[in-house]
Structure 1
Amino acid sequence: MSVSIDRSIAAEAAALRTHYAQTILPIWRGPGFNSALQLPYEAVAAADHAPLPPVRYRAMACARQLFVFSQAGEAAHAEQLFHAMCRYFHDEKHGGWLYSVDPQGAPLDATKDLYTHAFVIFACAHYASTTGDRDALRVIAETASLVQARFAAADGVLHAALTQDFTTVRTGALQNPLMHLTEAYLAAYETTGEPAYETALARLAESVARRFVHTPTGAIAELPIGSADNRLEPGHQFEWFYLVKRAGPVVAASGLEAELARAFDFAQRHGVDRATGGVCAALDESGGVKDATQRIWAQTEYLRALATRGRDEDLETLALQIPRFQARFLHPRGWYECVTPQGDVARADMPSTTPYHLATAYASLPY
């Protein structure tokens, strides 16, 4: 790879990080943060950053913001978020974490949601890593133990959602919570060094390979293989590609690395617009576009996957893709959450969950 390409990518990535530090983070320290409740608002308006009228606050959104400010080294703000997350969302009676609270901070949706629990583990791992907070380490251990004990299904996978007391299944296995649990266990292992997280990772990867891999393409489907109206999301193929590469030997026995090498090519060939670089939301099992919406998180996963695979042709593509992403999805007051294939804004408000995607992608780009 030429020195000029390397320098080009580093300069482009630096511009993304500057926009993030100078434009994105101040939103969520300021107008996007409810200082009375010490919780992030769900979303702010693009024009003036005014919070959208709150109808709920989610534990997952708070956890993502905890990660964002932990990674940014802003320990004081992260500490506020950690304590607010524990105060509002921890279920003292049944254990685990509530899905959401109402605008006054009272319990709203008490569903026990695997996606939420994964983000609690992930965020607390990063917070503990940067601060050494022993309460966060305790939350990681307790939540991971609860996930294994209470979300387990008879076939070795994990349910996506249960009732508050964990007695009734609301939603069976889904891909997305399992992917974020993989991410959470990686973070927990890196923070604690506990070998139990490696064991959990290996078991989780095996169950995903068994239940979700679409054999013709290697892609990991959103629903278990054989489900009606299944779909393949290009952004998730890129996200899984990064996670499995990072896990390395721990998940080698699952065969996911080889499958995702095929899935990367499938997603890039069918899910990325050649003219604009926009990544579509979903494909069908033959590669046809099922949902043409371009969501910003899928674009960030494409950037991270290109940097992770890192072949010469990937870096050449990355050098073109970063400025296309910047022009299409970023603006001086923030970002566009969703655009159409034609480039029209399909969702103008800015959710508090999106900075997590920006942060994880930018951290993987060359310096």
Structure 2
Amino acid sequence: MKVDLAKYQQELNQELDNILSFWKNFTIDEVNGGFVGKIDHNNHIDEIAPKGSVLNARILWTFSASYNLKKNPGCLLLADRAFAYIKDHFVDQEFGGVYWMLDAKGKPLDTKKQVYAVAFTIYALSEYFIASKFEQSKNLAISLYTDLLAHSYDQQNGGYFEAFSRDWKALEDLRLSNKDANEKKTMNTHLHVLEAFTTLYRIWPDEQLKNNIIGLIDNFTSHILNKKTGNLILFLDENWNQKSDIISYGHDIEAAWLLLEAAEALHDQKLIDEIKILALQMATISKNGIDIDGSLWYEFDPSNHHFVKEKHWWVQAEAMVGFFNAWQISGNESFLQISLNNWAFVKSNIIDHQNGEWFWGITETGEIMNSEDKVGPWKCPYHNSRACIELIRRIGVGLSF
């Protein structure tokens, strides 16, 4: 298996370089600064497209994390560019937090405070500090963390509310996207707040932050995890009552390894052991979404027993890491084989070998989803680059034994 892992690592190294090259060559906005807001399936740049906070935070994270792995000066330069743009345009200097969307010229277009976007910015700024040692980045990450505690944290029931107006007032429409339920708490936001706080803790081991990470892990184990099915509940009300039955395979397998990453960052062995058991359970249940071709389906609706059998790019990326993580915990090589099979599917079906980057996904009947973006508010270099980075690191540790 060591030979297979060496080949896996080599291919991931090459693919990470390919992803970074695409973003370097096609997404720099030489006219308005920062990075372009949209590129379609055929690599046509929309020069007047709005610029999303999630996209820009994920660009900053990707080039920072890639520099931290490879020490390529070009990655740090692009991370510097992304940081400057976020600091100068996305951060709300008056009320704190970050704007949801800017116009193409960098002016605020949608000023709502989506906690998901603030979390991704904390995540990216923390990773950038590791790369740059730039104190302003660390201080800004801490400031945004303080904003979330002041405005989003539920003092009564724990957890974090979804969204606010620019000045942190309540909103009627809390949804992250049109397909989401309009509920006050979501699995997705809590997962990425956890991810952000975990990376912030690496650069700022604050005791209150540690307790908040423990609290987030408890939110998952006590409320967000469906005790009957073992899957995550996507939408909940302020009292943690379940508001959705949909199973998201990509989020389940992503959470399996991110929860363990958070526990390990705290160096709490009891908690690590508990989350390892949970991660294995979640990976095992996620096998229910594996297709015969090695890919992972998108969703399952238990109410009508309907599978959404699309194969989205980010779901495959998270499957590669999540099942590899399950193999590392258990030594069960069936998990490793799922990761390898998923990578084989990605190479054959998801990577755009002609124009670069990854397609949005493949339909249930096997067609490329060519109406979706190559670059956009949700199509970013984060899931695929992170899968490469995470697996390169993990395989590197294994090969050194």
With over 3 angstroms needed to count, the CA separation of the structure-2 counterparts of 1:289 and 1:16, relative to structure 1, is farther
Q: Aligned equivalents of 1:19 and 1:263: distance in 2?
A: 28
Q: Aligned equivalents of 2:243 and 2:159: distance in 1?
A: 19
- CA apart distance, 1:69: 1.1
1:287-322, Cα deviation, whole Å (9 max, x unpaired): 944422211101011100122112222223333332
1:1-367 to structure 2, matched below 5 A, reads: 5-21=1-17, 23-47=18-42, 49-73=43-67, 74-153=75-154, 154-170=156-172, 171=174, 172-224=184-236, 226-248=241-263, 250=266, 257-269=276-288, 271-273=289-291, 275-285=292-302, 288-310=305-327, 311=331, 312-332=333-353, 333-334=355-356, 335-347=358-370, 349-351=373-375, 353-365=379-391, 366-367=395-396
Retained in 2: the 8 A contact 1:16–1:326? no
Retained in 2: the 8 A contact 1:121–1:144? yes
Report the 3-state secondary structure (helix = DSSP H, G, I; strand = E; otherwise coil) of the residue aligned with 1:108.
strand
1:218-247, Cα deviation, whole Å (9 max, x unpaired): 211211265444312111111111112222
1:134-192, Cα deviation, whole Å (9 max, x unpaired): 10011111011111110022321211111111121442111111101111111111122
Retained in 2: the 8 A contact 1:241–1:261? yes
Report the 3-state secondary structure (helix = DSSP H, G, I; strand = E; otherwise coil) of the residue aligned with 2:283.
helix
Structure 1 stretches of 4+ moved >6 Å? none
Q: Aligned equivalents of 1:169 and 1:209: distance in 2?
A: 28
Aligned pair count reads 359
Retained in 1: the 8 A contact 2:13–2:388? yes
With over 3 angstroms needed to count, the CA separation of the structure-2 counterparts of 1:227 and 1:341, relative to structure 1, is same
Retained in 1: the 8 A contact 2:279–2:326? no
Q: Which moved more, 1:209-218 or 1:282-291?
A: 282-291
Q: Aligned equivalents of 2:92 and 2:79: distance in 1?
A: 21
- CA apart distance, 1:197: 2.4
Retained in 2: the 8 A contact 1:219–1:262? no
- Matched letter for residue 343 of structure 1: G
1:21-63, Cα deviation, whole Å (9 max, x unpaired): 1x3212222321212332222332344x331354310111111
Partner of 2:70: none
- CA apart distance, 1:256: 5.4
Q: Aligned equivalents of 2:98 and 2:124: distance in 1?
A: 14
Aligned CA-pair RMSD: 2.2
Q: Which runs of 5+ in 2 are unaligned?
A: 68-74, 175-183, 397-401
Partner of 2:399: none
Q: Aligned equivalents of 2:4 and 2:340: distance in 1?
A: 7
Retained in 2: the 8 A contact 1:37–1:84? no
- CA apart distance, 1:263: 2.4
- Matched letter for residue 299 of structure 1: Q
Report the 3-state secondary structure (helix = DSSP H, G, I; strand = E; otherwise coil) of the residue aligned with 1:301.
helix
How high is the TM-score relative to the length of structure 1?
0.91
Q: Which moved more, 1:137-146 or 1:348-357?
A: 348-357
Q: Which runs of 5+ in 1 are unaligned?
A: none
With over 3 angstroms needed to count, the CA separation of the structure-2 counterparts of 1:54 and 1:9, relative to structure 1, is farther
Report the 3-state secondary structure (helix = DSSP H, G, I; strand = E; otherwise coil) of the residue aligned with 2:26.
coil
Q: Aligned equivalents of 1:316 and 1:210: distance in 2?
A: 31
Q: Aligned equivalents of 2:362 and 2:234: distance in 1?
A: 22
- Matched letter for residue 313 of structure 1: S
How high is the TM-score relative to the length of structure 2?
0.83
